[in-house]
């Protein structure tokens, strides 16, 4: 899939809220809460215009019952997609608009994602560094898989700084 990098769009927050309301109706009582994460959740960040949503649920296995309904609603299922215990739903085909990352509330990956988001929201210089890297890589790579691979080391190092920063925060 081709890299589509956009400047920050204030509508991304609204798109998250609308999808969260819609998915609350689909999943009903299985939902505990939604979190907007990833680059579209950070003001000023350039991003692929795909809203990353975290859907925290009581029982991840129960979510599998919704696969047919989600398919009918325009989502494709990617299963765990490399993260044990996650279910990933993607909306929009080649022009994706949303990635729904479903985690059971006790999954350890939740903290990593949310700490990274909060770290960026509290460190504007890091946002600028990350934004510059993303723009440079988007010029260099057409394919999202190559683009993602090229930024992996940078992101992993920033995640470590974020977790260290969070360690000094009140849990």
Read off the pLDDT of residues 140-161 as tens digits, 9 standing for 90 and up: 998 888 999 999 999 999 999 9
Residue 171 has pLDDT above 70, yes or no: no
Q: Per-residue pLDDT averaged across 16-39, rounded? A: 97
The verdict on residue 3 lying in a domain is: no
Query: What CATH number is given to the structural domain containing 161?
Result: 3.30.460.10
Tens of pLDDT, residues 89-136: 999 988 899 999 999 999 999 999 999 999 999 999 999 999 999 999
Tens of pLDDT, residues 29-66: 999 999 999 999 999 999 999 999 999 999 999 999 99
pLDDT of residue 169: 64
Phi/psi of residue 34, nearest 5 degrees: -115, 150
| 3 state SS of 19 | helix
pTM above 0.85, yes or no: yes
| 3 state SS of 80 | coil
The verdict on residue 6 lying in a domain is: no
Do residues 42 and 120 make contact, with C-beta atoms less than 8 angstroms apart? Answer: yes
Do residues 66 and 26 make contact, with C-beta atoms less than 8 angstroms apart? Answer: yes
pLDDT of residue 2: 77
The verdict on residue 4 lying in a domain is: no
Distance CA 41, CA 130 (A): 14
The verdict on residue 119 lying in a domain is: yes
The verdict on residue 163 lying in a domain is: yes
For the chain, what is the domain count? 1
The verdict on residue 93 lying in a domain is: yes
The verdict on residue 62 lying in a domain is: yes
Distance CA 41, CA 13 (A): 7
Structural domain span for residue 113: 11-167
The verdict on residue 92 lying in a domain is: yes
Q: What stretches of 70-141 adopt beta strand conformation (E)? A: 75-77, 86-91, 98-104
pLDDT of residue 3: 85
């Amino acid at each position: 899939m081709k890299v589509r990098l956009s400047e920050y769009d204030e509508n991304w927050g609204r798109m998250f809220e609308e999808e969260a309301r819609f998915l609350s109706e689909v999943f009903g009582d299985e939902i505990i809460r939604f979190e907007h994460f990833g680059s579209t959740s950070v003001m000023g960040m350039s991003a692929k215009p795909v809203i990353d949503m975290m859907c925290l649920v009581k029982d991840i296995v129960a979510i599998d019952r919704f696969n047919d309904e989600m398919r009918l609603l325009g989502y494709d299922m990617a299963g765990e997609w490399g993260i044990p215990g996650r279910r990933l739903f993607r909306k929009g085909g080649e022009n994706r608009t949303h990635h729904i990352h479903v985690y059971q509330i006790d999954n350890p990956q939740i903290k990593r994602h949310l700490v990274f988001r909060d770290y960026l929201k509290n460190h504007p210089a890091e946002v600028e560094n990350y934004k510059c890297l993303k723009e440079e890589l988007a010029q260099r790579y057409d394919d999202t898989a190559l683009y993602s691979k090229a930024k992996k080391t940078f992101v992993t190092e920033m995640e470590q700084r974020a977790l260290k920063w969070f360690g000094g925060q009140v849990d």
